[in-house]
Amino acid sequence: MKGFIKEFKEFITKGDVMSMAVGIIIGGAFTAIVSSLTEDVIGPVIGIIIGGVDFSSWGVQVGDANILFGNFIQAVINFLITAVVLFFIMKSFNTFKEKAEKLAKKNKKEEEEKPEEIPEDIKLLTEIRDALKK
């Protein structure tokens, strides 16, 4: 039992697990933002474009069951909108990351090309050595 507890403790404190936990928490918060964007901003605009059709009320009554396929259609539309928003966010993030990497490479290359400045005491010792050789 002690081995299991030790192993579990190591697993739970690894950086990967902690990073995943942070990602899940941020993802949950991000979901609220995307849902609001979808339902409060983009959804009404699409509703205006397609003539105010509300898919969520579409359904079929079969006996005592009410099959609301309109909710499914609305969920698919919400998914597609969310996917497009995430696509643009990731595209801009990747563009920013590429520019940052190019700038870092450029700065590193400039540093490598710049001749290293020799300290004054080393210059003086070099002059003394050369004078002694003569």
Provide the pLDDT for residue 15.
66
Domain ranges of the chain: 1-50, 54-134
Averaged pLDDT, groups of 10, the chain, 134 residues long? 82 75 86 80 78 75 85 81 82 92 87 78 88 87
Assess contact for 74 and 88: CB atoms under 8 A.
Answer: no
3-class SS at 61? strand
d(CA 87, CA 92): 9
3-class SS at 62? strand
Provide the pLDDT for residue 98.
94
Give the helix ranges, DSSP H, for the chain. Answer: 2-13, 15-36, 43-49, 69-113, 120-133
Tokens representing 12? 């739970």
Tokens representing 102? 């190019």
Provide the pLDDT for residue 102.
92
Provide the pLDDT for residue 5.
86
